[in-house]
Structure 1
Amino acid sequence: MKDLKNSLYYINILRNFLNKMRGNSRNSNVRSDIYQPLMDDDDDDDNNNKPFDEPILKNVERETKISKFVYFMTYTIAIGGFMFGYDTGVISSAMLLLEKDFVMTALQKGFVVGATTFGAFIGGIGSGSFSDSSGRRITSIISSIIFIGGAIILAFASSYELLIIGRLIVGIAVGIASQGVPVYISEISPRFHRGHLVTINVLMCTGGQFFSYLIATLLVFPGGWRWMFGISGIPPAIQLICLFFVPESPRYLVLKEKNEQAKNVLSKIYPCANQNFLDEEIQVINETIATDHSGSYKQLIEHPNLRPLIICCGLQLFQQLSGFDTAMYYGATIMKMAGFSSIRDAIVFSIFVSCTNFFMTVIALLIIDKLGRRKILLYTIIGTVIGLIILGIGFMFITGLTVRQDQCVDYGINCGACVIDERCGFSIDEGTCVSRKQSFISADQFYNKCPNLDWKGSTFTLASLVFFVMAYALGLGHTPWTLQSELFPLNVRGRATGIATATNWITNLIVSITFLPLTEMITISGTFWMYSGFMVIGWIFVFNLVPETCGKSLEEIQGMFL
């Protein structure tokens, strides 16, 4: 009986091929042959135990195209990723304008930036369990509402405290989205297109960063930061409307024992599949849920899960210690430090950094399965070390190695270090650094830039920053997330990735808050050189602990740690 069924299967394949060659193939006819289960009329035990033939099951998954409805669901949910990127990038530009309306120390600026990261940590912790209890769709709806509320508070903020509250609220929405978006997309994706659809979220994130810089170039005027924050409420409002036309994910519906509703959604994901295929998918989802619920946090600190946990947490740690997010959070400020004193120029040149991140992320997604995770990390971390070192050298020629001084006059003739101190400006007549409060200095005598600054130094620094971002985006920017989804068995994967992601957020918070104070304590050059030292340690970590997983099945990967 099995031989007969297999023969019929291959005859079907041959017949469909010949139909296509003759040009008479209609999708509906061909697919009815491909997807019709080859069941014999006899009620033998083999058929009862196997309701859907394995080759046919794989063929359905492989032949299924991504429907417009699946794309609609994916892009609707991925607006959360877009907002993640937008709110990461917009603060870079807004900070230059906020300095005009709020008097803030370097640490206070760090808190404005870091409030979103702290909020994301809070939102990420609770969103997983809430998503399992209330649903992926409801979680996204709440995330959209929180995004809108945060945007309104920020747009009308009249005090430093309201800025912090608004950024914190937006951060909570970011944390919910960063956890919920990839989960929903992976659960509504046809199996053989899952990687492609999940990467849409990554591209939406980097696209959001790029869009924030483009918008900022149009809003460089007093109070323009209010518009930058206020506009961020439009995408989640669009998402909120679209979410009413998006169904729950099949996995959540099965989790809540709503199998018929789950089949209805699956029929839209696999529009050409028949009832037997849908029953098989429901069974697979049930088995996955049962396996997932068998794990515990205690198992993570036991063999064989401890080493993968150390690897994933370590990679997330070094991803943030590279200092890359400072280039996103403080990109315009860094450009201003590099000599681009005009706010508009600083933002425009920051677009180069954002563009580099976007396009190199696209390239990374194309080459990661060809070069391998371990190899690409080892090569690109060397690139980040080189980029950070030469970036520090570039700033050394612009600002010197002068730390923040108690008084402006103490900077003397060091114009580069003088003008990046918000208290100071450079007097061309006196040839020295002076306080902005000195009313006797006329407008034509006072400069917030260095009149004799060589453009080559600024260009070199910009090129160094772009090189660093290129190396980061090719490796550390995405590989930790890829490995995080591969190294753990299914029963502890959710808990393990939660811990690793929390490591990322905590380190992100520390780095974002301490960046500006560090530039004052050990200079901006010293700060980037410190990050390069962390990257050297990171390279040693990868060389000694991270295995190659490219080309291996999940079972083979997990067997490496036994």
Structure 2
Amino acid sequence: MSAARRTAGGELPPDVKGSHSKRLGLIAVVVTFGGLLFGYDTGVINGALEPMKADLALTSTTEGIVVSILIVGAAFGALIGGRLSDRYGRRHNILLLAIVFVLGTVGCVLSPNWELLAVFRFILGLAVGGASATVPVYLAEVSPSERRGSLVTRNEVMIVSGQFAAFVINAVIFNVWGENTDVWRYMLLVAVLPAIVLFIGMLRMPESPRWLVSQGRTDEALQVLRQVRSPERAEAEMAEVTALAEEEVEARTGGWSDLGVKWIRRLVLVGIGLGVFQQLTGINSIMYYGTQLLQDSGFSSNGAIIANTLNGLFSVLGITVGIIVMNKIDRRKLLLIGFSLTTTFHLLVGLSALLLPDGTAKAYTILVFVVCFVFSMQGTIGPLVWLLLAEMFPLKIRSFAMGVCVFALWLANAVVALGFPPVVEALGIAPTFFVFCGLGVLALIFIATTVPETRGLSLEEFEEQFSSKHS
């Protein structure tokens, strides 16, 4: 055992409560405004699209471009954001992202035509993707191992809260100014407020101590740890992080060349698989097209709009449950439970659509199973994948690897978002959900055979164990 781990009982001192706990809580609140923006900007298009189509004379083709271009931008934002975060720091990158959120939002609001709107939606996507890759890493690196699960998961809470807020705010704004052709611009403009809060808040937040160590700025790193740990814990954890950083410098880790290292390549492939399978559950097809799905199930237009708010509500409830259980159940076990539940509800939605006669009973049965799917997904798979991506990778390539995996996640998101409406139109609800069911079975096999366990281990302990096992 290294000197970094020769503490009492061979473990780090416990994470006792104190003033440092409040500081850590404040950091989590501020930085997760990036997640709130992520959620709002991906969810707001749901209600803004109809008045936007009328105002800008969108065709079905240009409508698809305007909706999907943000997702494409997010894929590249995740990749670029990860590299910038590794080079310039997590805090610096989040400050930059806050500025891009403001510029992208204002650009969308002022766009006179769909071409400019698409350009600024792409820019906004860069910020969304960058936040998705940077915020979980920052949270993981400032959190003690005992609280890492719940703190990183707060970002997912803010994402689904942002989506739910978008649904509610859209409804309120539409009811007040619905006759105004520019009403969609008001819906989008709301996102400027949390972006400003994120920028101002991050000016007073510290840099990640683990990133500071990777840059040789150990004195600054220790000062940061003393802000968010007890004195004894800060000293012990600093020794651990420093020792591992020295080992990584010797190994020359830090970029694409690391994919030639067997255990790192294996971790990155696992991360890519997790991101892709998370999206292949179809969760964002529900978030983007939930109203359309419910209409196809038998609801009226007004009934579908009202019923669709349940998806946002149960997303928030699901993630709340996820926070409670996250640190009480092993990651792998909870992932297996989550995919078992979502696969089951996919099957039930498909069977309901196939076997039940058209009518109210069929519509409400499908609604119940869809809501159960959303609740199960957001209580397990949604936050767990982001948590695992934030805690699996070695320090020197953590943001780089996160960016690669989230890039794959966003591409899978784009495929599902673009493919869901035409597939449902061509095949119907039942076959579409049977496809999701089959993908869920593949995900269960993937998790059971490849995904490592990280619960209860510090970021450095996990790295040491995994590299020893798979080198």
- TM-score scaled by length of structure 2: 0.84
Give 1:247's aligned amino acid.
P
Alpha-carbon separation, structure 2, partners of 1:165 and 1:526? 35
Q: Give the % identical residues.
A: 30
User: Equivalent residue of 1:247, what SS?
Assistant: coil
1:296-348: CA deviations, max 9, x gaps?
A: 534435534444443332222221122111111222333343444445x4443
Q: Does 1:185 align with 2:145?
A: no
Q: How far does residue 527 in structure 1 lie from its aligned partner after superposition?
A: 2.9
Unaligned runs of 5+ in 1: 1-48, 401-452
Cα 1:269–1:490 change in 2 (3 A) is closer
1:15-47: CA deviations, max 9, x gaps?
A: xxxxxxxxxxxxxxxxxxxxxxxxxxxxxxxxx
Q: How far does residue 544 in structure 1 lie from its aligned partner after superposition?
A: 4.1
Match in the other structure for 2:246: 290
Unaligned runs of 5+ in 2: none
Residue among 125, 129, 140 paired with 2:94: 140
Residue among 33, 37, 55 paired with 1:79: 33
Q: Does 1:245 align with 2:179?
A: no
User: Equivalent residue of 1:219, what SS?
Assistant: helix
Match in the other structure for 1:508: 413
Residue among 76, 90, 97 paired with 1:122: 76
Q: 8 Å contact 1:92–1:331 — kept in the other structure? A: no
Give 1:473's aligned amino acid.
Q
Match in the other structure for 1:386: 344
1:501-557: CA deviations, max 9, x gaps?
A: 222111112211222232333334433332223223323333444456656762445
Give 2:37's aligned amino acid.
M
Q: 8 Å contact 2:209–2:222 — kept in the other structure? A: yes
Match in the other structure for 1:374: 332
Q: How far does residue 143 in structure 1 lie from its aligned partner after superposition?
A: 1.0
Cα 1:283–1:549 change in 2 (3 A) is closer
Match in the other structure for 2:383: 478
Of the structure 1 ranges 540-549 and 176-185, higher mean CA displacement relative to structure 2 is found in 540-549
Alpha-carbon separation, structure 1, partners of 2:375 and 2:322? 10
Match in the other structure for 2:470: 561
Cα 1:109–1:525 change in 2 (3 A) is farther
Cα 1:551–1:197 change in 2 (3 A) is closer
User: Equivalent residue of 1:128, what SS?
Assistant: helix
Match in the other structure for 1:348: 306
Q: How far does residue 236 in structure 1 lie from its aligned partner after superposition?
A: 0.7
Cα 1:299–1:384 change in 2 (3 A) is same
Of the structure 1 ranges 534-543 and 77-86, higher mean CA displacement relative to structure 2 is found in 534-543
Residue among 225, 229, 236 paired with 1:266: 225
Q: 8 Å contact 1:107–1:514 — kept in the other structure? A: no
Match in the other structure for 1:93: 47
Q: 8 Å contact 1:62–1:192 — kept in the other structure? A: no
Alpha-carbon separation, structure 2, partners of 1:260 and 1:302? 31
Of the structure 1 ranges 385-394 and 144-153, higher mean CA displacement relative to structure 2 is found in 385-394
Cα 1:191–1:481 change in 2 (3 A) is closer
Cα 1:497–1:74 change in 2 (3 A) is same
Give 1:286's aligned amino acid.
T
Q: How far does residue 238 in structure 1 lie from its aligned partner after superposition?
A: 1.9
1:432-464: CA deviations, max 9, x gaps?
A: xxxxxxxxxxxxxxxxxxxxx833332222112
Q: 8 Å contact 1:107–1:517 — kept in the other structure? A: no
Q: How far does residue 78 in structure 1 lie from its aligned partner after superposition?
A: 1.0
Of the structure 1 ranges 496-505 and 283-292, higher mean CA displacement relative to structure 2 is found in 283-292
1:388-403 superposed matches below 5 A:
388-395=346-353
1:438-453 superposed matches below 5 A:
none
User: Higher helix fraction: Structure 1 or Structure 2?
Assistant: 2
1:60-94: CA deviations, max 9, x gaps?
A: 74455544333222211110011111112222222
Q: 8 Å contact 1:300–1:492 — kept in the other structure? A: no
Q: 8 Å contact 1:217–1:348 — kept in the other structure? A: no
Alpha-carbon separation, structure 1, partners of 2:362 and 2:434? 18
Match in the other structure for 1:419: none
Alpha-carbon separation, structure 2, partners of 1:258 and 1:560? 31
Alpha-carbon separation, structure 1, partners of 2:52 and 2:349? 26
Give 1:377's aligned amino acid.
L
User: Equivalent residue of 1:226, what SS?
Assistant: helix
Q: How far does residue 202 in structure 1 lie from its aligned partner after superposition?
A: 1.9
Match in the other structure for 1:44: none
Alpha-carbon separation, structure 2, partners of 1:103 and 1:527? 31
Equivalent residue pairs, number: 457
Q: Does 1:54 align with 2:7?
A: yes
Alpha-carbon separation, structure 1, partners of 2:256 and 2:135? 23
Q: Does 1:176 align with 2:125?
A: no
Alpha-carbon separation, structure 1, partners of 2:234 and 2:328? 34
Larger of the two Rg values belongs to structure: 1
1:260-339 superposed matches below 5 A:
260-270=219-229, 273=231, 282-293=238-249, 294-295=252-253, 297-339=256-298
Residue among 192, 201, 206 paired with 1:233: 192
Q: 8 Å contact 2:140–2:391 — kept in the other structure? A: no
Alpha-carbon separation, structure 2, partners of 1:283 and 1:549? 21
User: Equivalent residue of 2:428, what SS?
Assistant: helix
Alpha-carbon separation, structure 2, partners of 1:118 and 1:510? 10
Alpha-carbon separation, structure 1, partners of 2:292 and 2:385? 28
Q: How far does residue 206 in structure 1 lie from its aligned partner after superposition?
A: 1.6
Q: 8 Å contact 2:153–2:383 — kept in the other structure? A: no
